[in-house]
Structure 1
Protein backbone atom coordinates (compact mmCIF):
# COMPACT_ATOMS: atom_id res chain seq x y z
CA UNK A 1 0.00 0.00 0.00
CA UNK A 2 1.29 3.45 -0.96
CA UNK A 3 0.33 6.49 1.11
CA UNK A 4 0.72 9.92 -0.54
CA UNK A 5 2.28 12.36 1.90
CA UNK A 6 2.32 16.12 2.46
CA UNK A 7 5.53 17.50 4.00
CA UNK A 8 5.98 20.42 6.43
CA UNK A 9 8.90 22.13 8.14
CA UNK A 10 9.12 25.03 10.57
CA UNK A 11 11.35 27.46 12.42
CA UNK A 12 11.40 28.22 16.15
CA UNK A 13 9.44 31.36 17.03
CA UNK A 14 8.32 33.12 20.21
CA UNK A 15 4.77 32.84 21.57
CA UNK A 16 3.25 35.31 24.01
CA UNK A 17 2.40 33.58 27.28
CA UNK A 18 4.28 30.42 26.35
CA UNK A 19 7.79 29.30 25.50
CA UNK A 20 9.36 29.32 22.02
CA UNK A 21 8.10 26.62 19.65
CA UNK A 22 8.43 25.44 16.05
CA UNK A 23 4.86 24.13 15.92
CA UNK A 24 3.88 26.59 13.17
CA UNK A 25 5.09 24.72 10.10
CA UNK A 26 4.63 25.41 6.38
CA UNK A 27 4.16 23.02 3.49
CA UNK A 28 7.20 22.37 1.33
CA UNK A 29 7.41 20.94 -2.18
CA UNK A 30 10.28 19.44 -4.08
CA UNK A 31 13.19 17.38 -2.84
CA UNK A 32 14.57 17.61 0.70
CA UNK A 33 17.41 15.95 2.57
CA UNK A 34 16.46 13.72 5.50
CA UNK A 35 19.11 12.83 8.08
CA UNK A 36 19.06 11.31 11.56
CA UNK A 37 18.29 14.82 12.85
CA UNK A 38 15.23 15.24 10.63
CA UNK A 39 14.31 17.23 7.54
CA UNK A 40 16.59 19.95 6.21
CA UNK A 41 15.25 23.32 7.35
CA UNK A 42 13.12 21.95 10.19
CA UNK A 43 13.76 23.12 13.75
CA UNK A 44 12.68 22.06 17.24
CA UNK A 45 12.60 24.07 20.43
CA UNK A 46 13.70 22.58 23.78
CA UNK A 47 15.70 19.59 22.63
CA UNK A 48 15.11 17.71 25.88
CA UNK A 49 11.51 17.01 24.87
CA UNK A 50 11.49 17.61 21.10
CA UNK A 51 13.68 16.30 18.31
CA UNK A 52 16.66 13.99 18.66
CA UNK A 53 17.33 10.65 16.96
CA UNK A 54 14.13 8.95 18.21
CA UNK A 55 11.94 11.97 17.42
CA UNK A 56 13.32 13.11 14.09
CA UNK A 57 9.90 13.31 12.40
CA UNK A 58 6.32 13.82 13.57
CA UNK A 59 3.41 12.25 11.65
CA UNK A 60 -0.25 13.22 12.13
CA UNK A 61 -3.24 11.57 10.41
CA UNK A 62 -5.14 14.07 8.27
CA UNK A 63 -8.49 12.40 8.96
CA UNK A 64 -8.36 13.42 12.64
CA UNK A 65 -8.87 17.07 11.79
CA UNK A 66 -12.59 16.57 11.13
CA UNK A 67 -12.93 15.12 14.64
CA UNK A 68 -11.25 18.15 16.22
CA UNK A 69 -13.26 20.63 14.15
CA UNK A 70 -16.46 18.97 15.37
CA UNK A 71 -15.18 18.82 18.94
CA UNK A 72 -14.25 22.52 18.97
CA UNK A 73 -16.46 24.28 16.41
CA UNK A 74 -15.38 27.75 17.54
CA UNK A 75 -11.79 26.90 16.56
CA UNK A 76 -12.75 24.76 13.55
CA UNK A 77 -10.80 26.89 11.07
CA UNK A 78 -7.58 26.10 12.97
CA UNK A 79 -7.85 22.35 12.47
CA UNK A 80 -6.09 21.82 9.16
CA UNK A 81 -2.66 20.30 8.54
CA UNK A 82 -0.10 21.06 9.90
CA UNK A 83 -1.87 22.50 12.96
CA UNK A 84 -0.29 19.94 15.30
CA UNK A 85 3.23 20.73 14.12
CA UNK A 86 3.55 17.56 12.06
CA UNK A 87 6.19 17.00 9.40
CA UNK A 88 4.16 14.33 7.59
CA UNK A 89 0.42 14.28 6.83
CA UNK A 90 -1.38 11.32 5.24
CA UNK A 91 -4.79 9.73 4.90
CA UNK A 92 -5.16 6.02 5.61
CA UNK A 93 -2.59 5.65 8.38
CA UNK A 94 -3.78 6.05 11.98
CA UNK A 95 -2.66 5.08 15.49
CA UNK A 96 -4.82 1.95 15.19
CA UNK A 97 -3.15 0.50 12.08
CA UNK A 98 0.42 1.73 12.60
CA UNK A 99 2.60 -0.28 15.01
CA UNK A 100 5.58 0.58 17.20
CA UNK A 101 8.67 -0.38 15.19
CA UNK A 102 7.01 -0.18 11.77
CA UNK A 103 9.60 0.67 9.12
CA UNK A 104 8.40 2.74 6.17
CA UNK A 105 10.21 3.44 2.95
CA UNK A 106 10.04 7.08 1.88
CA UNK A 107 11.98 8.08 -1.21
CA UNK A 108 15.56 6.98 -0.68
CA UNK A 109 15.07 6.65 3.08
CA UNK A 110 13.77 4.27 5.72
CA UNK A 111 12.03 5.63 8.83
CA UNK A 112 10.88 3.70 11.93
CA UNK A 113 7.98 4.42 14.30
CA UNK A 114 9.33 4.90 17.82
CA UNK A 115 6.47 6.13 20.04
CA UNK A 116 3.20 8.04 20.11
CA UNK A 117 3.62 11.80 20.10
CA UNK A 118 3.43 12.94 23.75
CA UNK A 119 1.15 16.02 23.75
CA UNK A 120 2.54 18.99 25.68
CA UNK A 121 1.09 22.19 27.13
CA UNK A 122 2.19 24.30 24.15
CA UNK A 123 -0.84 22.90 22.30
CA UNK A 124 -3.06 24.64 24.88
CA UNK A 125 -1.64 28.02 23.85
CA UNK A 126 -1.46 27.17 20.16
CA UNK A 127 -5.19 26.44 19.91
CA UNK A 128 -6.44 28.67 22.72
CA UNK A 129 -7.95 25.62 24.43
CA UNK A 130 -6.80 25.37 28.05
CA UNK A 131 -6.74 21.55 28.21
CA UNK A 132 -6.02 20.63 24.58
CA UNK A 133 -2.95 18.53 25.41
CA UNK A 134 -4.84 16.50 28.00
CA UNK A 135 -7.83 15.98 25.68
CA UNK A 136 -5.58 14.96 22.81
CA UNK A 137 -3.74 12.45 24.99
CA UNK A 138 -6.98 10.91 26.30
CA UNK A 139 -8.39 10.61 22.77
CA UNK A 140 -5.47 8.56 21.46
CA UNK A 141 -5.38 10.83 18.41
CA UNK A 142 -1.79 11.87 19.08
CA UNK A 143 0.11 10.96 15.95
CA UNK A 144 3.53 9.35 16.27
CA UNK A 145 7.26 9.93 15.90
CA UNK A 146 10.02 8.36 13.81
CA UNK A 147 13.73 7.72 13.85
CA UNK A 148 15.62 7.74 10.56
CA UNK A 149 17.09 4.32 9.81
CA UNK A 150 18.66 5.37 6.51
CA UNK A 151 18.81 8.97 5.35
CA UNK A 152 18.71 10.40 1.85
CA UNK A 153 16.48 12.42 -0.43
CA UNK A 154 12.71 12.61 0.14
CA UNK A 155 9.85 14.59 -1.34
CA UNK A 156 6.11 15.04 -1.15
CA UNK A 157 5.98 13.22 -4.47
CA UNK A 158 7.35 10.04 -2.90
CA UNK A 159 4.69 8.02 -1.02
CA UNK A 160 5.19 6.11 2.22
CA UNK A 161 5.18 2.32 1.89
CA UNK A 162 5.37 -0.16 4.77
CA UNK A 163 8.62 -2.12 4.50
CA UNK A 164 8.67 -4.15 7.76
CA UNK A 165 6.46 -4.80 10.79
CA UNK A 166 8.39 -5.93 13.86
CA UNK A 167 5.98 -5.71 16.82
CA UNK A 168 2.35 -6.40 17.75
CA UNK A 169 1.78 -3.15 19.69
CA UNK A 170 -0.10 -0.45 17.82
CA UNK A 171 0.63 3.22 18.43
CA UNK A 172 -2.86 3.50 19.95
CA UNK A 173 -2.21 0.59 22.34
CA UNK A 174 1.11 2.12 23.39
CA UNK A 175 -0.70 5.31 24.37
CA UNK A 176 -3.35 3.40 26.32
CA UNK A 177 -0.66 1.44 28.19
CA UNK A 178 1.30 4.59 29.02
CA UNK A 179 -1.50 7.04 29.82
CA UNK A 180 -4.93 5.44 30.29
CA UNK A 181 -4.64 2.34 32.43
CA UNK A 182 -3.68 1.80 36.07
CA UNK A 183 -0.28 0.34 36.87
CA UNK A 184 0.11 -2.93 34.89
CA UNK A 185 3.55 -4.54 34.93
CA UNK A 186 2.55 -7.13 32.34
CA UNK A 187 1.56 -4.45 29.83
CA UNK A 188 4.73 -2.45 30.52
CA UNK A 189 6.72 -5.58 29.77
CA UNK A 190 4.75 -6.03 26.55
CA UNK A 191 5.50 -2.47 25.50
CA UNK A 192 9.18 -2.85 26.38
CA UNK A 193 9.26 -5.92 24.13
CA UNK A 194 8.13 -3.88 21.11
CA UNK A 195 11.13 -3.63 18.80
CA UNK A 196 11.96 -0.05 17.89
CA UNK A 197 10.48 1.60 21.01
CA UNK A 198 12.20 4.92 21.72
CA UNK A 199 14.87 5.17 24.40
CA UNK A 200 12.81 7.65 26.42
CA UNK A 201 9.72 5.42 26.49
CA UNK A 202 11.90 2.39 27.26
CA UNK A 203 13.39 4.29 30.19
CA UNK A 204 9.98 5.39 31.47
CA UNK A 205 8.44 1.91 31.33
CA UNK A 206 11.47 0.36 33.01
CA UNK A 207 11.38 2.98 35.78
CA UNK A 208 7.73 2.15 36.41
CA UNK A 209 8.51 -1.56 36.73
CA UNK A 210 11.25 -0.85 39.25
CA UNK A 211 9.45 1.81 41.29
CA UNK A 212 5.93 0.40 41.09
CA UNK A 213 4.67 3.92 40.37
CA UNK A 214 3.38 5.95 37.43
CA UNK A 215 5.20 9.25 36.97
CA UNK A 216 3.43 12.64 37.16
CA UNK A 217 2.75 14.07 33.69
CA UNK A 218 1.12 17.31 34.82
CA UNK A 219 4.12 19.48 33.91
CA UNK A 220 4.12 18.19 30.32
CA UNK A 221 0.35 18.61 29.94
CA UNK A 222 -0.15 21.84 31.82
CA UNK A 223 3.26 23.52 31.95
CA UNK A 224 3.43 23.40 35.73
Structure 2
Protein backbone atom coordinates (compact mmCIF):
# COMPACT_ATOMS: atom_id res chain seq x y z
CA UNK A 1 0.00 0.00 0.00
CA UNK A 2 1.55 3.30 -1.12
CA UNK A 3 -0.12 6.69 -0.78
CA UNK A 4 1.27 10.19 -1.20
CA UNK A 5 1.11 12.86 1.48
CA UNK A 6 -0.74 16.01 0.37
CA UNK A 7 0.56 18.19 3.21
CA UNK A 8 2.37 18.03 6.54
CA UNK A 9 0.85 20.62 8.87
CA UNK A 10 2.06 22.14 12.13
CA UNK A 11 0.81 24.78 14.53
CA UNK A 12 1.53 26.64 17.74
CA UNK A 13 -0.87 27.37 20.62
CA UNK A 14 -3.08 30.40 20.00
CA UNK A 15 -6.03 31.99 21.83
CA UNK A 16 -9.02 29.77 21.17
CA UNK A 17 -11.83 30.14 23.68
CA UNK A 18 -11.39 33.05 26.03
CA UNK A 19 -8.22 32.45 27.99
CA UNK A 20 -7.89 28.90 26.66
CA UNK A 21 -5.21 28.13 24.09
CA UNK A 22 -5.19 25.53 21.32
CA UNK A 23 -2.88 24.47 18.48
CA UNK A 24 -5.71 23.00 16.39
CA UNK A 25 -5.14 25.71 13.75
CA UNK A 26 -2.33 24.18 11.69
CA UNK A 27 -0.68 25.22 8.43
CA UNK A 28 1.27 23.29 5.77
CA UNK A 29 5.00 23.15 6.32
CA UNK A 30 7.20 24.08 3.37
CA UNK A 31 10.18 21.82 2.90
CA UNK A 32 11.15 18.90 5.08
CA UNK A 33 9.49 18.08 8.39
CA UNK A 34 11.49 16.43 11.13
CA UNK A 35 9.64 13.68 12.98
CA UNK A 36 10.79 13.20 16.56
CA UNK A 37 9.49 10.82 19.23
CA UNK A 38 7.49 13.71 20.74
CA UNK A 39 6.06 14.83 17.39
CA UNK A 40 6.95 17.04 14.45
CA UNK A 41 9.47 19.78 15.11
CA UNK A 42 7.67 23.13 15.20
CA UNK A 43 4.33 21.56 16.16
CA UNK A 44 3.09 22.01 19.71
CA UNK A 45 0.06 21.25 21.89
CA UNK A 46 -1.56 23.56 24.40
CA UNK A 47 -3.34 20.96 26.52
CA UNK A 48 -0.58 18.52 27.46
CA UNK A 49 -2.97 16.57 29.70
CA UNK A 50 -5.10 15.34 26.81
CA UNK A 51 -2.87 15.81 23.77
CA UNK A 52 0.69 15.13 22.68
CA UNK A 53 3.25 12.73 24.10
CA UNK A 54 4.94 9.80 22.40
CA UNK A 55 1.68 7.88 21.86
CA UNK A 56 -0.01 10.85 20.18
CA UNK A 57 2.95 12.30 18.33
CA UNK A 58 1.38 12.65 14.87
CA UNK A 59 -2.29 13.00 13.92
CA UNK A 60 -3.84 11.91 10.62
CA UNK A 61 -7.40 12.62 9.51
CA UNK A 62 -8.66 11.25 6.18
CA UNK A 63 -9.28 13.97 3.62
CA UNK A 64 -11.76 11.50 2.12
CA UNK A 65 -14.20 12.59 4.85
CA UNK A 66 -14.25 16.26 3.84
CA UNK A 67 -16.95 15.78 1.19
CA UNK A 68 -19.32 14.08 3.65
CA UNK A 69 -18.65 16.78 6.23
CA UNK A 70 -19.51 19.36 3.58
CA UNK A 71 -22.90 17.68 3.20
CA UNK A 72 -23.44 17.28 6.96
CA UNK A 73 -22.56 20.90 7.71
CA UNK A 74 -24.10 22.40 4.62
CA UNK A 75 -20.69 23.67 3.58
CA UNK A 76 -17.98 25.32 5.63
CA UNK A 77 -14.95 27.45 4.67
CA UNK A 78 -12.60 25.42 6.89
CA UNK A 79 -13.17 22.39 4.64
CA UNK A 80 -11.51 24.19 1.73
CA UNK A 81 -8.42 25.11 3.74
CA UNK A 82 -5.58 23.16 5.33
CA UNK A 83 -5.98 20.75 8.25
CA UNK A 84 -9.58 21.59 9.22
CA UNK A 85 -9.53 18.94 11.96
CA UNK A 86 -6.12 19.93 13.31
CA UNK A 87 -4.41 17.05 11.54
CA UNK A 88 -0.66 16.88 10.94
CA UNK A 89 -0.93 14.66 7.87
CA UNK A 90 -3.37 15.45 5.07
CA UNK A 91 -3.79 12.19 3.16
CA UNK A 92 -6.44 10.67 0.88
CA UNK A 93 -6.97 6.96 0.37
CA UNK A 94 -6.77 5.71 3.96
CA UNK A 95 -9.78 5.43 6.26
CA UNK A 96 -10.36 4.18 9.77
CA UNK A 97 -11.91 0.90 8.66
CA UNK A 98 -8.85 0.08 6.54
CA UNK A 99 -6.14 0.92 9.07
CA UNK A 100 -5.22 -1.49 11.86
CA UNK A 101 -4.02 -0.58 15.33
CA UNK A 102 -0.28 -1.15 15.16
CA UNK A 103 0.09 -0.77 11.39
CA UNK A 104 3.53 0.61 10.55
CA UNK A 105 4.16 3.09 7.76
CA UNK A 106 7.38 4.43 6.31
CA UNK A 107 7.18 8.14 5.57
CA UNK A 108 10.40 9.54 4.18
CA UNK A 109 13.04 8.27 6.59
CA UNK A 110 10.62 8.15 9.56
CA UNK A 111 8.76 5.03 10.71
CA UNK A 112 5.29 5.62 12.16
CA UNK A 113 3.04 3.18 14.07
CA UNK A 114 -0.73 3.58 14.49
CA UNK A 115 -1.24 3.89 18.24
CA UNK A 116 -4.91 4.81 18.83
CA UNK A 117 -8.02 6.45 17.37
CA UNK A 118 -8.53 10.12 18.05
CA UNK A 119 -11.14 10.83 20.69
CA UNK A 120 -13.15 13.89 19.56
CA UNK A 121 -13.67 16.79 21.93
CA UNK A 122 -15.57 20.06 22.11
CA UNK A 123 -12.76 21.95 20.37
CA UNK A 124 -13.82 20.57 16.99
CA UNK A 125 -17.30 22.02 17.40
CA UNK A 126 -15.91 25.32 18.70
CA UNK A 127 -13.50 25.57 15.77
CA UNK A 128 -16.27 24.99 13.23
CA UNK A 129 -18.91 26.87 15.20
CA UNK A 130 -21.31 23.93 14.79
CA UNK A 131 -22.97 21.70 17.37
CA UNK A 132 -23.46 17.98 16.88
CA UNK A 133 -20.13 17.20 15.23
CA UNK A 134 -18.85 15.09 18.12
CA UNK A 135 -22.05 13.02 18.12
CA UNK A 136 -21.68 12.49 14.38
CA UNK A 137 -18.10 11.27 14.79
CA UNK A 138 -19.15 8.87 17.56
CA UNK A 139 -21.74 7.29 15.28
CA UNK A 140 -19.86 7.40 11.97
CA UNK A 141 -16.47 6.38 13.44
CA UNK A 142 -14.71 8.96 11.24
CA UNK A 143 -12.37 9.87 14.09
CA UNK A 144 -8.89 9.88 12.56
CA UNK A 145 -5.95 8.37 14.41
CA UNK A 146 -2.58 8.99 16.02
CA UNK A 147 0.88 7.60 15.33
CA UNK A 148 3.86 7.10 17.57
CA UNK A 149 7.26 7.66 15.95
CA UNK A 150 9.18 4.37 16.04
CA UNK A 151 12.14 5.71 14.06
CA UNK A 152 12.83 9.44 13.84
CA UNK A 153 13.39 10.91 10.41
CA UNK A 154 12.41 13.49 7.81
CA UNK A 155 9.66 13.73 5.21
CA UNK A 156 7.91 16.33 3.08
CA UNK A 157 4.68 16.82 1.17
CA UNK A 158 4.59 14.55 -1.87
CA UNK A 159 6.49 11.75 -0.14
CA UNK A 160 5.01 8.27 -0.06
CA UNK A 161 3.29 6.87 3.02
CA UNK A 162 4.14 3.20 2.56
CA UNK A 163 2.77 0.43 4.73
CA UNK A 164 5.59 -1.86 5.79
CA UNK A 165 4.05 -3.99 8.55
CA UNK A 166 0.57 -5.10 9.54
CA UNK A 167 -0.75 -4.35 12.99
CA UNK A 168 -3.29 -6.28 15.07
CA UNK A 169 -5.38 -8.45 12.74
CA UNK A 170 -9.10 -7.64 12.72
CA UNK A 171 -8.68 -4.60 14.97
CA UNK A 172 -9.09 -1.56 12.79
CA UNK A 173 -9.08 1.99 14.13
CA UNK A 174 -12.82 2.15 13.42
CA UNK A 175 -13.59 -1.10 15.26
CA UNK A 176 -11.67 -0.13 18.40
CA UNK A 177 -13.18 3.37 18.39
CA UNK A 178 -16.72 2.01 17.96
CA UNK A 179 -16.31 -0.54 20.75
CA UNK A 180 -15.20 2.02 23.30
CA UNK A 181 -16.94 5.25 22.24
CA UNK A 182 -20.00 4.64 20.07
CA UNK A 183 -23.02 4.72 22.44
CA UNK A 184 -24.83 2.30 20.12
CA UNK A 185 -22.08 -0.32 20.31
CA UNK A 186 -22.34 -3.19 22.73
CA UNK A 187 -18.99 -5.03 22.78
CA UNK A 188 -19.00 -8.37 24.55
CA UNK A 189 -16.45 -9.41 27.16
CA UNK A 190 -14.33 -11.32 24.67
CA UNK A 191 -14.01 -8.22 22.50
CA UNK A 192 -13.13 -6.03 25.48
CA UNK A 193 -10.52 -8.52 26.66
CA UNK A 194 -9.07 -8.60 23.16
CA UNK A 195 -8.82 -4.79 23.06
CA UNK A 196 -7.18 -4.75 26.50
CA UNK A 197 -4.58 -7.18 25.13
CA UNK A 198 -3.57 -5.18 22.04
CA UNK A 199 0.03 -4.40 22.90
CA UNK A 200 0.39 -1.67 20.25
CA UNK A 201 -2.72 0.17 21.46
CA UNK A 202 -1.94 2.99 23.88
CA UNK A 203 -2.23 2.22 27.60
CA UNK A 204 -5.08 4.69 28.13
CA UNK A 205 -7.32 2.92 25.63
CA UNK A 206 -6.41 -0.54 26.94
CA UNK A 207 -7.23 0.65 30.45
CA UNK A 208 -10.59 1.94 29.23
CA UNK A 209 -11.36 -1.55 27.89
CA UNK A 210 -10.36 -3.09 31.25
CA UNK A 211 -12.60 -0.59 33.01
CA UNK A 212 -15.54 -1.63 30.85
CA UNK A 213 -14.86 -5.24 31.77
CA UNK A 214 -15.00 -4.44 35.47
CA UNK A 215 -18.27 -2.55 35.09
Task: Tell me, yes or no, if structure 1 residue 4 matches structure 2 residue 4.
Answer: yes
Question: 1:40-189 maps to which residues of 2 (within 5 A)?
Answer: 40-73=41-74, 75-80=75-80, 81-168=82-169, 169-180=171-182, 181-182=185-186, 184-189=188-193
Task: Say if 2:33 is the partner of 1:23.
Answer: no
Q: In structure 1, what is the equivalent of residue 209 of structure 2? A: 205
The answer as to 2:55 corresponding to 1:38 is no
Distance in 1 of aligned mates of 2:22 and 2:177: 24
Tell me how far apart the structure 2 counterparts of residues 182 and 10 of structure 1 sit (CA, whole Å). Answer: 37
Q: Distance in 1 between matches of 2:26 and 2:135?
A: 22
Matched position secondary structure for 2:87? coil
Distance in 1, Cα, partners of 2:70 & 2:125: 15
Report the secondary structure of 2:14's partner residue. Answer: coil
The 2-side partners of 1:147 and 1:18 are apart by 30
* Counterpart Cα distance in 2 of 1:13 and 1:155: 25
| Runs of 4+ with >4 A deviation | none
**Aligned counterparts, 1:209-220, within 5 A:** 209-210=213-214, 212=215
1:4 to partner: Cα distance: 0.7
TM norm structure 2: 0.92
Q: TM-score, normalised by structure 1?
A: 0.89
Q: Which structure 2 residue ranges, 5 or more long, are not aligned?
A: none
Summarize deviations over 1:44-92 as a string: whole Å, max 9, x none: 111111011100010011110000001111x422224400000001111
Cα distance in 2 between the residues matched to 1:166 and 1:140? 19
Deviation at 1:136, TM superposition (A): 1.8
- For residues 166 and 135 of structure 1, the distance between their equivalents in structure 2, rounded to whole angstroms, comes to 27
SS at match of 1:136: helix
Alignment length, in residue pairs? 210
Equivalent residues of 1:166, 1:194 under 8 A apart: no
Distance 1:182 1:104, change over 3 A: same
Query: 1:179 offset after TM fit, Å?
Result: 1.4
- Identify if the C-alpha distance between structure 1 residues 19 and 135 changes in structure 2 by more than 3 Å, giving closer, same or farther: farther
Cα distance in 1 for partners of 2:109, 2:11 equals: 22
The change in CA–CA distance for 1:187 and 1:18 in structure 2 (over 3 A counts) is farther
- Flag the 1:205–1:18 CA change in 2: closer, same or farther, 3 A: farther
**Which consecutive residues of structure 1, in runs of 5 or more, have no partner in the other structure?**
213-224
